[in-house]
């Protein structure tokens, strides 16, 4: 480590390794070592130690290399004054989904986390897109190429970036995506093969059959083979049956229809009892082959009627209608479907593909769903905020005041402040979670108004459960517009 030797340091050190070193002392120190004996040996040690300290400079054993600096993002860091509060919020968000929503909220206010508080890991998929350059940096990759994904630049992408680019390519140029995957397939790990073959679900056609048959016959990984088999079953279904026939088969095997009500004769759908997990692949293949038009016609109603009547009470089968709706649904149909989900008890349904469906709606269409959403109880912070679409951190107070979420929050807070303990019918963790949800959904004015309300009720503004509301109230939403 030391450098610039101007005396026989190596010799001295070698000698001291096994005993006295006076014989290896530099000649110029002879005068200082004149007494000889023990005293000279001690002096030599002191002189050499001091010379090492003041006369030497550390030298690296090889060249020093600069790492690639953390790339800039399109948004500025959260200001220093907010970092402590945000770190506390991040610390409380041990679940990845909650952290994702916090980061998403921050991004809607035109800020990103400070890199000394948080940076993504190389495989963090669930993060707002603004952090993609940091994820690439964490994976040791240069920024992704500006041109589309291709065989020549395949290795220049991170795994997550490549997956997204491949899905984009499949959407835009289905045949090109298939050709690219065929070319690279033998070089991929099993997990990547599984990921990318799964993307072929989108726009699946007869052109994919030969490739999938090859995988079914030769792939070493059983789960990849199984996926290819399922996709081939879907192709077979389409080849064998017209949409109408597939719909007829689906209703024959799985779905019951009836009309209820004397005047309105409302369409009701329900699952037949004889179902099992083994039949699920057949159900998926049938629903995919039938399509929304044929399904609605078979049920004897309009597409909108069919969407509204879709049953949500079966976790084994119900969710497989959602990919079809996402692909073929019109905005008003998706909006109606989401209104059904938001109007239900949380335990009866899941948030599967809900954010993606929200993305298909305009800001105004999403806004119409908010009052229904705010009536919903017992949703987690992650679930609630992921349902908010473009309205995360933008909901006005007027919209929230009449909601169940707000009323429950006030009631629980009131009971706590009056020392009545938690309300028996609500789990005790609900108040902190509600306050956090309110912190993430209000616009800046709403957050300030809520804080004033809570302070009037007697809640200390320093209560850590108000962290997100306070951050919300402090972060100016105009920032984004000024920087856009």
Partner 1 sequence: MAFDAQAIQSAAPDAASFKAGQGLVKPAKWPLRASNAATGLIWGECQGSGANPYRVIADTSDLGAKCTCPSRKFPCKHSIALMLMKAAGDSGFAEAEPPDWVSDWVGRRRKGSGGAPAAAPQPAASPAAPVALAEAEAPEPELDPNDPKALARAEAAARRAARLAESNRLALEGACAELEGWIHDQIRGGLNLFLEDPQGRCRLIAARMRDAKASALSSRIDEAPARLMALPTEERMEEAVKELGKLLLLARAWKAAPEDPELRREMVQAEDRDALTDSAETPRSSGIWEALAVTIRTRKDGLIAQTSWFLNLTAADPALRFAALQDVFPAAAGRRSAPFSPGDRFQGEMLFYPARRPLRAAVISRRDPGETPPASWPEAPADPLTQATERLLAAPWTLESPLLLGPGRYVSDARGRAWWKAEQGGAALPLNEPPEKPLMGLRLASAAGLWTGARLEMLAAAPEWAAPQGEKAS
Enter the DSSP assignment of 141.
P
16 is an interface residue for partner 1 by CB under 8 A: yes
* Residue 80 or 206 with smaller CB distance to partner 1: 80
Window of 25-33, 234-242, 318-326, 458-466 that interacts with partner 1 by CB under 8 A: 458-466
* Residue 1 or 217 with smaller CB distance to partner 1: 1
Smallest distance from partner 1 to CB 29, Å:
13
* Residue 21 or 295 with smaller CB distance to partner 1: 21
Helix (H, G, I), strand (E, B) or coil at 412: helix
Identify the residue among 58, 222, 261, 421 touching partner 1 (CB under 8 A).
58
Phi, psi angles (nearest 5°) of residue 282 = -65, -40
Tell me how many residues contact partner 1 (CB under 8 A).
56
Smallest distance from partner 1 to CB 288, Å:
42
Window of 197-205, 333-341, 392-400, 454-462 that interacts with partner 1 by CB under 8 A: 454-462
| Gap between the Cα atoms of 276 and 264, Å rounded | 34
| Gap between the Cα atoms of 45 and 26, Å rounded | 12
Which residues, including other chains, have CB under 8 Å from residue 173's CB and lie 6 or more apart? none
Rg of the chain, C-alpha, whole Å: 33
Identify the residue among 5, 30, 35, 49 touching partner 1 (CB under 8 A).
49
Smallest distance from partner 1 to CB 134, Å:
8
53 is an interface residue for partner 1 by CB under 8 A: yes
Q: What is the DSSP string of 284-321?
A: HHHHHHHHHHHHHHHHTS-HHHHHHH---S-TTTGGGG
455 is an interface residue for partner 1 by CB under 8 A: yes
* Structural element, H or E, at residue 249: helix 243-253
85 is an interface residue for partner 1 by CB under 8 A: yes
Torsion on CA atoms 394, 398, 399, 404, rounded to nearest 10:
120
Going 315 to 320 to 321 to 327, the CA torsion angle's sign is positive
Which residues from 101-160 bind partner 1, rule CB under 8 A? 115-116, 119, 138
Neighbours of 242 (CB within 10 A): 12
Smallest distance from partner 1 to CB 78, Å:
12
Which residues, including other chains, have CB under 8 Å from residue 363's CB and lie 6 or more apart? 390, 391
Q: Which residue has the tokens 């003041």?
A: 54
38 is an interface residue for partner 1 by CB under 8 A: yes
Window of 73-81, 273-281, 380-388, 436-444 that interacts with partner 1 by CB under 8 A: 73-81
Window of 81-89, 144-152, 242-250, 420-428 that interacts with partner 1 by CB under 8 A: 81-89
Q: Which residue has the tokens 């009836």?
A: 258
Window of 10-18, 271-279, 332-340, 438-446 that interacts with partner 1 by CB under 8 A: 10-18
Do residues 439 and 447 lie in contact, with contact meaning Cβ atoms separated by under 8 Å?
yes
Q: Which CA distances in Å does 378 have to 371, 438, 462?
A: 16, 13, 26
Smallest distance from partner 1 to CB 42, Å:
6
Structure tokens at 212: 């999938």
13 is an interface residue for partner 1 by CB under 8 A: yes
1 is an interface residue for partner 1 by CB under 8 A: yes
Binding site for partner 1 (CB under 8 A): 1-2, 13, 16-21, 38, 41-42, 45-50, 52-54, 57-77, 84-85, 88, 115-116, 119, 138, 455, 460-462, 464, 467, 483
């Amino acid at each position: 480590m030391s450098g610039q030797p101007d005396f026989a340091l190596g010799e001295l050190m070698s000698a001291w390794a096994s005993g006295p070193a006076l014989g290896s002392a530099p000649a110029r120190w002879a005068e200082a070592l004149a007494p000889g004996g023990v005293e000279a040996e001690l002096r030599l040690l002191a002189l050499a130690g001091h010379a090492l300290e003041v006369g030497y400079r550390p030298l690296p054993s090889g060249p020093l290399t600069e790492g690639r600096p953390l790339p800039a993002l399109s948004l500025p860091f959260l200001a220093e004054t907010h970092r402590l509060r945000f770190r506390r919020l991040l610390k409380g968000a041990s679940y990845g989904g909650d952290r994702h929503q916090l980061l998403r909220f921050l991004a809607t206010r035109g800020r990103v986390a400070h890199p000394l508080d948080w940076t993504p890991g190389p495989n963090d998929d669930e993060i707002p897109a603004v952090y993609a350059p940091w994820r690439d940096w964490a994976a040791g990759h240069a920024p992704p190429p500006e041109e589309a994904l291709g065989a020549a630049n395949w290795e220049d992408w991170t795994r997550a970036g490549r997956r997204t680019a491949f899905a984009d390519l499949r959407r835009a140029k289905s045949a090109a995506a298939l050709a690219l995957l065929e070319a690279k397939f033998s070089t991929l790990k099993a997990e990547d093969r599984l990921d990318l073959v799964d993307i072929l679900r989108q726009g699946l056609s007869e052109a994919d059959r030969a490739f999938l048959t090859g995988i079914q016959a030769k792939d070493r990984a059983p789960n990849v083979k199984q996926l290819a088999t399922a996709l081939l079953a879907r192709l077979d279904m389409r080849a064998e049956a017209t949409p109408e026939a597939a719909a007829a088969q689906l209703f024959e095997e799985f779905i019951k229809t009836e009309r209820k009500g004397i005047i309105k004769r409302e369409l009701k759908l329900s699952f037949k009892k004889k179902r099992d997990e083994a039949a699920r692949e057949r159900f998926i293949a049938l629903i995919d082959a039938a399509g929304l038009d044929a399904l609605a016609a078979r049920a004897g109603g309009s597409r909108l009627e069919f969407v509204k009547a879709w049953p949500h009470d079966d976790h084994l089968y119900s969710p497989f209608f959602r990919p079809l709706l996402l692909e073929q649904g019109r905005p008003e149909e998706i909006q109606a479907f989401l209104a059904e989900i938001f109007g239900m008890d949380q335990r009866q349904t899941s948030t599967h593909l809900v954010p993606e469906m929200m993305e298909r709606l305009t800001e105004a269409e999403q806004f119409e769903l908010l009052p229904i959403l705010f009536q919903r109880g017992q949703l987690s912070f992650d679930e609630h905020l992921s349902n908010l679409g473009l309205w995360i951190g933008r909901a006005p107070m007027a919209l929230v005041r009449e909601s169940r979420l707000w009323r429950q929050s006030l009631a629980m807070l009131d009971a706590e402040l009056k020392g009545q303990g938690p309300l028996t019918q609500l789990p005790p963790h609900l108040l902190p979670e509600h306050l956090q949800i309110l912190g993430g959904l209000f616009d800046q004015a709403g957050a300030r108004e809520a804080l004033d309300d809570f302070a009037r009720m007697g809640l200390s503004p320093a209560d850590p459960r108000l962290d997100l509301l306070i951050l919300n109230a402090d972060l100016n939403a105009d920032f984004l517009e000024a920087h856009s």
